[in-house]
């Protein structure tokens, strides 16, 4: 399932080091995480989910579908290796962004007071001009994650860190950005 490159000890060691390299908001982006056949299968599976629209015109508008723990077990185990500590799955879902979708950071959304991790598996061939970036913010730093197919992103959400999705503009017409998001503790 995983790209054989990520099974090598020296590559995993460098990934762990890179993850911890930013002390304020640790993160890492690992390209071509899955072998080609597995990636196509996973991307197809995620696109076939039964999506529900999350729509509050003043805060958010996008689609989501829940995933079971069984569906993300191997990804969570891999994330545990990179993070270097025992973690467990809190929630997993597929998020679909299309033209005019977004989320915001209203005052009503309270950031976690405990450290959490987010694992994102991006399954999108996407025009960066369309927006739809995933953005993490805290008091000290902002991370903006553009779409990149077959990429695994790990972010340590330190207390006070929140996430939102940039507005998908007219360049995103007739396109979909799909990504798996798993929250880990």
26: Cβ–Cβ under 8 A, 6 or more apart, which residues? 19, 20, 155, 156
Number of H helices, E strands in the chain: 3, 11
pLDDT at 109: 72
Token reading at 157 = 């959400």
pLDDT at 65: 98
Distance (Å) of CA 44 to CA 39, 112, 127:
8, 32, 19
The residue behind tokens 């989320």 is: 103
pLDDT at 110: 74
pLDDT at 106: 80
Question: Domains of the chain by range and CATH?
Answer: 4-184 (2.60.120.620)
pLDDT at 42: 97
Averaged pLDDT in 10-residue chunks for the chain of 185 residues: 95 94 89 97 96 94 97 96 95 98 85 91 95 93 94 94 96 96 97
Task: Evaluate whether 57 touches 103 at the Cβ level (below 8 Å).
Answer: no
């Amino acid at each position: 399932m995983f790209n054989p490159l990520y099974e090598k000890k020296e590559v995993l060691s460098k990934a762990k080091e890179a993850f911890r390299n930013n002390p304020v908001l640790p993160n890492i982006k690992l390209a071509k995480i899955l072998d080609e056949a597995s990636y196509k299968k996973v991307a197809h599976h995620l696109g076939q989910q039964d999506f529900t629209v999350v729509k509050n015109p003043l805060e958010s508008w996008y689609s989501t579908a829940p995933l079971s723990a069984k569906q993300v077990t191997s990804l969570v185990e891999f994330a545990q290796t990179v993070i270097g500590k025992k973690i467990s799955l809190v929630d997993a879902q597929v998020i679909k962004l299309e033209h005019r979708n977004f989320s915001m950071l209203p005052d009503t959304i309270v950031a976690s007071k405990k450290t959490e991790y987010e694992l994102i598996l991006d399954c999108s061939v996407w025009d960066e001009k369309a927006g739809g970036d995933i953005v993490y913010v805290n008091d000290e730093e902002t991370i903006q994650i553009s779409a990149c197919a077959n990429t695994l992103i790990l972010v340590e959400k330190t207390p006070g860190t929140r996430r939102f999705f940039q507005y998908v503009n007219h360049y995103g017409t007739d396109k979909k950005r799909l990504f798996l998001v798993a929250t880990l503790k």
